[in-house]
A and B are shown apart, each in its own frame.
Chain A
Amino acid sequence: MKLAGIKSVEGAHDESVWAATWVPATSSRPALLLTGSLDETVKLWKSDDLNLAGTNTGHCLGVVSVAAHPSGIIAASASLDSFVRVFDVNTNATIATLEAPPSEVWQMQFHPKGTKLAVAGGGSASIKVWDTSTWKLTSTLTIPRPEVPKPSDKNTSKKFVLSVAWSPDGRTIACGSMDGTISVFDVAREKFMHHLEGHSMPVRSLVYSPVDPRVLFSASDDAHIHMYDAEGKSLVSSMSGHASWVLSVDASPDGNAIATGSSDRTVRLWDLKMRAALQTMSNHTDQVWAVTFCPPGGTGVRGGRLASVCDDKSISLYDYS
């Protein structure tokens, strides 16, 4: 297992790049890399040369997250002003604009089958689930508040929801909060199931293993990556090595590795068998806000691809093999 740099684009955006995801390949085109930035734009890039395929404007304040529909036809981007814009990837036509005030918008993810879009709702301590055919809000999964609020808790921002992830079977959603707890929900019954404990600092990124629906990876500001048995509620492993916040985690499609991006300016590849860092990429010069593996399928892209985006305005592409 190893990563090899293929291409980097300096100044890919005019400002810090904060979000990235791959838009899966369709019959007519290969997979595209979708990035969002503080410069209020969303850009599409063709692999492997990272040629700019399109620039979407229309957001105000920075773009904090992007998500791609599994079909590869539509994608969503969200900005600090709490609007979600759903658009057609090929035409950049706006399909819907979503907002659920006063809930903000942080991380988003489409259901594995594409029927729903889950959005981390920030201070509302909830996940908003939207139907992707009608673009109506179908449910709000709220983290239950502690029955007896402590007097020292002067605000409830501790359960501020930052990150969200669908299990590969689409039955459960996990979300990470500012206080480090991870909450797991049963989507069908719209019911909170349990917390996963272990972090005490914000959990900024979550991802399920693509091969094992029980295994959940979390990235936290405490510089650790945790591996949970999301159903058994237990912490399986804790991986340390980053020198600062872990901002993003993604699992490789083969399920053998995970990649992480951190404030310590590195991208790391972790071997899940050894549960240790295999490789550290230090090509970025600032915080690495997102790492994302290219989903398999489509033509034009050989082998595995990993992309990372950084506060230094650059984006990088690696070969994963």
Chain B
Amino acid sequence: MASVYIPVQNSEEEVRVVLDQLPRDASDIIDILKAEQASLDLWLIIAREYFKQGKVEQFRQILEEGSSPDIDEYYADVRYERIAILNALGAYYCYRGKIETIQSKREEHFIQATKYYNKASRIDMHEPSNWIGKGQLLLAKGELEQASSAFRIVLDGDRDNVPALLGQACVEFNRGHYSESLSLYRRVLQIFPDCPGPVRLGIGQCQYKMGHFERARKAFDRVLQLDPENVEALVALAVLDLQTNEASRTRKGMEKMRQAFEIYPYCPMALNYLANHFFFTGQHYVVEQLTETALAVTNHGPTKSHSYYNLARSYHSKGDYAAALRYYNQSVKEIKDKASDFVFPYFGLGQVQLKLGDINGAMSNFEKVLEVYPDNCDTLKVLGHVYAQLNETEKAQEVLKKATKIDPHDAQAFLDLGELLIMSDTATALDAFKTARSLLKKSDQEVLVEVLNNIGVIHFEREELEVALEAFKEALGNGVWLRFLDVKSKTTAADAGASILQYKDVQLFNRLEADGVEVELPWNKVTPLFNLARLLEQLHNTGTAGIFYRLILFKYPGYIDAYLRLAAIAKSRNNLQLSIELVNEALKLNNKCPNALSMLGELELKNDDWVKAKETLRAASEATDGMKDSYATLALGNWNYFAALRNEKRNPKLESTHLEKAHQLYTKVLLQHKSNIYAANGAGIVLAEKGNFDVAKDLFTQVQEGASGSSFVQMPDVWINLAHVYFAQGNNALAIKMYQNCLRNYYHNTDCQIFLYLARTYYEAEEWQDCKKTLLRAIHLAPSNYTLRFDAGVAMQKFSASTLQKEKREANEVRSAIVELENAVRVFSQLSAGANLQIHGFDEKKINTHVDYCKHLLEAAKVHLEVAEREEQQKLQKEEAERQMSLAEKARRKAEEQRKFQLEKRKKEDENKRARQQDEDFERVKEQWKSSTSSASKRKDRLDIIDDDEAGGHSGRRRKKGGGKRRKKDKSSKFSQYEEMEEGEAEMDGHEGDDGHGSYYREEKDPAPQDLLAAAGLEDSDAEDEEAAAAAIAARRRRALSESEEDEPVEEEGKQQQAGSPESGEMQVSDGEGAAASQQHHHQDNDVDAGLDDED
């Protein structure tokens, strides 16, 4: 039993003080010490003993007494002991300061400590222990530089001063100079091999920091050998164990943590780790207790930050986002916003902010995380999501692409990327989705319906319909729909098609249910089923599509889009009544649904219900909330445009008002959506209407380019409009080509209206036969359109008239003209007969005028024909005569030549043979000559015939020229009567043209009133050709138009006008709406995935 002996003053006796039996009241001891004037080292020993026994108060009491001024005075020359006492006190306060959590008290303690150290240094400023104490104090206060210089002072005096070395090691450690620190610790160990455990702790920590985990472990183990209850070593070892991430080691580590906690329940490190552990085991209450304790016992920033983080995480997982946000913020604050120290709270903070809707905050926090861990996939993904929400698509793409590159097996990243790109870059999106799909399949995970749906939608958009079909089928999986899709089992479903018209008929499904078939449609399959139905529509399998829409409605009666699609199908089959009924059904569900209202308006327009249509479209426009949806506005623009041209009385004022209004509305849409090609098209039409053809042409060309980019946008109108412009500018060839292309590419050559435009262009180009053929085709397509017959009659009449007026014509031409005239007469007569039956709206008188005119022409033509035939006959006779003459002439000439030739020949022969057999030879030659002449003359004959033909051709032509003048005179006399009449009309027309030339002229030049012009132009062509001979083209046109206005069946025009451009509207409803629907579905899917993201 250790004890000290206090010598009794002035005697040999000593007072024995048993150290572990020190009195509770230190003043007893102090009295003794004072009374016996015990040496100061005894004071120190006893005080230290108190300290060791945890009796800190007594310790302080003795030392304070020991450093009181009396003692100073008394022991003035005992320097070392006095310094030691002061140092002990300083160290004591320094320690108090270190463990104090309240800042003000902490300061106080440090001030106290400083005071004592200063006092000590006043006794001897070279005392090393004093410097060491000061160094420790500075270290505790975090003033590393000054602490270091304090320790250096000591070390300069004594290289091997252990406490100074330790202090310096500590400084180096805190500076992050771990290897320096380590070498200092090692020095200590060399100098003082029996040093206490904490030195090895330092070594272990240095090794740990330097990443030498095994050496660190050894050091900590050694510490524990020396001091089995060393908490730091236990915690350090536990951390090492936990970091291995092996289950058994983790368990061991947690065991050590628990031990440490039991030994010393206030070690923040242990508390944090335990909290961390219990967080993962889900014991949130324990977590909170542990972290709160940890927070209470430490002031160390990073540790506190960790604690707050644990706390925040606990709240986060419990769903208390407000609390979590608070603690994450605390945690971040504790590490002074240095993300590199401890990055987790930033991630948590970002997540919570995302949840609470602070997207910008979340973004900056995730970005901080990314700075520290630039390759962290989770961060990249969540940032991608955040960027996408902030519409920073490019950034989002960048991070998501990086994420997919870093981890090419992360299906989620590919999904996110795909969803991001689906609106902008479908090809890449598709690849991403496909990769995700195969990744999910590879890992035997279920591929989400949404993914397959999106794949299908992209294929659909890219017109890869078969692939899209497969994707949708895969998305849908097994279900009742297979019965309708599979051709083989169609027998049961086949009858369903028949009831397509009774859209409300659910018998089909009831019957299936009665047959024991489950008619189920899970909520997440509705979208793919809807899309599949859309696809089937595209594949023209409207029957099955209709069944699917009805199935959706059977299960989800509130699915408006299904009603609208059913309505669109009915509309495309021209069943307007049913279509309107269906739209009304949709409106019952939501009477503000803009799509339904727009469609209703369109249907009413088609039903010729103008006023109603306008109201409905207005309502639709209002329902779209501040005109964000331009469709209704556009439709109103169209309405105004049609109204401008429809006006039966053609009031110029009203017309321009309507046009102006249409223009305003189109411009409005264009201002909102710069790239709205429908609005641009409308604006182009109005411009063309006003005669600005060049600008209109530019616009149309741009629209055409825009429309060609997407397979979902089909805009035949713009082709027609462009063709109209070319036509108006006189470029007939190009106009014809464009009309033909448009017909073939967009209408399967079935639109008789465009055929009419085409015919009109041929007419203008004076291609009569093409014009006629085109009109016949149109009649074949639209048999009940009598206007076309009338036009065909006019074309034939015009053809004949122009043939007969030609200067040169052959009898054949005249004959064909007569045939056409007869046809024209028949066509007009039939129309005339039909007029009684009111099967068309023509004025009988007018038709009869045509009949009479044609008959008259026919008579005239017959005379012409006689003349022509007579001439032809004469010509033939003359030719024959000439031929005979020339034949004879040539025969003579040939004979002559032949004779000459023979003569020469004979001469030669004579010369040769004269001498010998003159007489005999002569006879033989004579024979020869005879036979050769006969064959030669035959040959000649043939030649002559050829020559004759040529000659005849020439002479014939020449003669015709001569005859032309004569005939012209004939004509003028015969036709004079008619021409007078025509002139009369022309004058009248001229007047009219002058009166209202403003409107008429515009009208005339105007290509865009799509049908009107062509129709009118053709119809009044009769007027034209009556005047044709005299009038100049422009004047003719003007007159023609003005006349057309008077006596053409205006109703027809009205009809035709409607027919042309509403297509654009219709296209948009059906397709635009479909696209809208699919877009909507993308959005849906996005939301689902966003929900998933946050759980990360």
Contact = CB atoms under 8 A, between A and B. Distances in A.
A pairs with B: yes
Contacts of B299: none
Contact of B841 (A122, A124, A154): A154
Interface stretch (B509-517, B825-833, B1008-1016, B1031-1039): B825-833
11 contacts: A38-B773, A62-B777, A81-B823, A124-B839, A200-B576, A223-B572, A240-B543, A243-B540, A244-B750, A274-B490, A275-B490
Interface of chain A, helix or strand or loop or mixed? loop
B946 interface: no
Given A80-B780, A102-B834, A263 B501 contact: no
Interface of A: 15-16, 18, 38, 60-62, 64, 80-82, 101-102, 104, 106, 122-124, 152, 154-158, 160, 162, 178, 180, 198-201, 221-224, 234-245, 263-265, 273-276, 286-287, 311
B494 interface: yes
Given A123-B834, A200-B574, A263-B750, A223 B826 contact: no
Nearest to B575: A200
Nearest to B571: A200
B748 A160 contact: no
Given A81-B826, A155-B841, A122 B784 contact: yes
B779 interface: yes
A308 B748 CA distance: 17
A235 to B, nearest CB: 5
Contacts of A104: 783, 830
Nearest to A178: B784
A241 B540 contact: yes
Nearest to A201: B574
Contacts of A155: 838-841
Interface centre among A155, A199, A265 (most CB of B within 10 A): A155
Interface string B736-759: 000000000000111000000000
Contacts of A152: 608
Contacts of A276: 487, 490
A313 to B, nearest CB: 12
A291 B574 CA distance: 25
Contact of A237 (B488, B495, B786): B495
Contact of B498 (A156, A158, A237): A237
Contacts of A200: 573-576
Interface centre among A16, A124, A221, A276 (most CB of B within 10 A): A276
A123 B784 contact: yes
A62 B776 contact: yes
Contacts of B829: 101
A38 B776 contact: yes
Contacts of A264: 748
B569 to A, nearest CB: 9
B873 interface: no
Given A102-B830, A237-B494, A311-B749, A160 B784 contact: yes
Contacts of B838: 155-156
A241 B497 CA distance: 12
A198 B498 CA distance: 9
A15 B576 CA distance: 36
Contacts of B860: none
B490 A286 contact: no
Contacts of B837: 102, 123-124
B506 interface: no
Interface centre among A61, A64, A122, A245 (most CB of B within 10 A): A61
Contact of A274 (B487, B572, B792): B487
B541 interface: yes
B497 A287 contact: no
Contacts of A16: 777
A245 B748 contact: yes
Q: Which 8 A-B pairs have the closest CB atoms?
A: A102-B833, A160-B784, A222-B573, A157-B784, A263-B748, A200-B574, A244-B748, A123-B839
A162 B544 CA distance: 29
A198 B539 CA distance: 21
A238 B540 contact: no
Nearest to A247: B750
A61 B776 contact: yes
B139 to A, nearest CB: 87
A77 to B, nearest CB: 15
Contacts of A178: 783-784
Nearest to B835: A102
B749 A287 contact: yes
A265 B823 CA distance: 31
A222 B572 contact: yes
A60 B494 contact: no
B543 A239 contact: yes
